[in-house]
């Protein structure tokens, strides 16, 4: 369990960022590899350096990077940087603002931009940019300024940001009560069996890889998650789909699509960066690798966002164009599908 805590400065002014308890079914695994499965955006080199410096602890004792973590072990890692709540610094970073008034703004986030500061991303985030653009942003229940919802680093698309406490409360209720509209466009592996459907299955952290979410179809763990999908275009070994969220869980579309056997194209975390469908021909392999280069991230874009304005009561709906990298990748697949029939 991640219990990311406040600063616990040692004599070396280190900060405890993470503490994990290894699950009951944890098989012996090197501590550096174990932590790679738990700490988002951390490189193995950085974790190994922390171990070499004596900053990785298991059950209260310093361990080396080759220590084998076992079930029940308490693993801590300390870093020189303080946790994200101490890093809310305004930065002059350009924002693609689609709409703004006194209560809120809607931004079209580029792929590659992290939404809020955290381990490995101490600056350059959307929050840092927003704090420069707007003074005195209200904070949400996670103490994150302005955020009503969020999207992953490598997902592009629309986000609404609250500028006042009233807007924060009103918009948060809409997302909680599932009255907001969120439509994503995704390119997924495989030719989907049905033209439309609904994926239902509780989502919770994967017990062995905390950076992944896992579907628990029996509903015995996690939180309810519902995704409605519709095929936009079939492109042979991949399918372009529209996904509408009824709930908004972490990695919801990414985990749900993997669960039904249609992992997002080039989704590294969920295995979509491998050739999952197609032929064994060398030319096909080269084609897919070129498509990965054109789109070096998961093929997911938050295209449409709708909500009721917290002050005027007006229904607002915003739509964004599919970004160039996804559009180019789709066109490549369109051409390939046409000429491989």
Where in the sequence numbering do the catalytic residues fall? Answer: 152
For residues 298 and 263, what is the distance between their CA atoms, to the nearest angstrom?
Answer: 10
Cβ-contact 249, 213 below 8 angstroms: yes
For residues 144 and 333, what is the distance between their CA atoms, to the nearest angstrom?
Answer: 39
> Which residues on neighbouring strands pair with residue 308, listed in sequence order?
315
**Residue with tokens 């449409």, as numbered in its chain:** 304
For residues 66 and 30, what is the distance between their CA atoms, to the nearest angstrom?
Answer: 5
Nearest to 237 by CA among 272, 198, 197: 272
Distances (CA, A) of 120 to 14, 17, 46, 82, 309: 15, 11, 9, 11, 35
Distance of CA 241 to the CA centre of its chain: 19
H or E stretch including 301? strand 300-308
- Tokens found for residue 94: 């350009």
φ/ψ of 189, rounded to 5, equals -70, 140
3-class state of residue 108 by DSSP: strand
Helix axes 282-294, 324-339, angle to 10 degrees: 160
- Tokens found for residue 333: 């697949």
Number of H helices, E strands in the chain: 7, 17
> Which residues on neighbouring strands pair with residue 75, listed in sequence order?
20, 58
Virtual torsion, Cα 65, 70, 72, 78, nearest 10 deg: 10
């Amino acid at each position: 369990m991640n219990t990311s805590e406040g600063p616990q400065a040692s004599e070396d002014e280190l900060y405890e960022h993470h503490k994990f308890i290894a699950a009951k079914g944890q098989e012996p695994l090197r501590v550096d590899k174990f932590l790679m499965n738990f700490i988002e955006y951390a490189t193995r080199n950085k974790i190994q350096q922390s171990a070499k410096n004596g900053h990785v602890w298991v059950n209260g004792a310093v361990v080396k990077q080759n220590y084998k973590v076992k079930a029940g072990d308490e693993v801590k890692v300390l870093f020189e940087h303080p946790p994200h709540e101490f890093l809310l610094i305004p930065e002059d970073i350009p924002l693609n603002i689609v709409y703004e008034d006194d209560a809120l703004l809607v931004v079209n986030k580029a792929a590659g931009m992290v939404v809020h500061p955290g381990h490995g991303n101490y600056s350059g985030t959307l929050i840092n940019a927003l704090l420069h653009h707007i003074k005195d942003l209200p904070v949400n229940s996670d103490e994150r300024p302005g955020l009503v919802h969020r999207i992953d680093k490598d997902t592009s698309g629309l986000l609404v940001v609250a500028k006042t406490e009233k807007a924060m409360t009103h918009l948060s209720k809409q997302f909680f009560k599932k009255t907001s509209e969120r439509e994503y466009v995704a390119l997924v592996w495989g030719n989907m069996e049905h033209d439309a459907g609904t994926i239902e299955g509780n989502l919770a952290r994967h017990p062995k890889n905390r950076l992944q979410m896992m579907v628990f179809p029996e509903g015995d763990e996690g939180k309810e998650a519902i995704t409605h999908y519709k095929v936009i275009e079939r492109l042979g070994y991949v399918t372009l789909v529209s996904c509408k969220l009824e709930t908004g869980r972490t990695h919801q579309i990414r985990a749900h699509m993997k669960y039904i056997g249609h992992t997002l194209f080039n989704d590294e975390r969920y295995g979509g960066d491998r050739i999952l469908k197609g032929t064994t021909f060398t030319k096909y392999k080269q084609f897919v690798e070129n498509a990965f280069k054109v789109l070096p991230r998961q093929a997911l874009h938050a295209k449409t966002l709708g909500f009721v304005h917290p002050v005027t009561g007006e229904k607002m709906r915003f739509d964004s164009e599919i970004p160039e990298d996804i559009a180019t990748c789709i066109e490549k697949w369109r051409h390939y599908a046409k000429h491989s029939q």
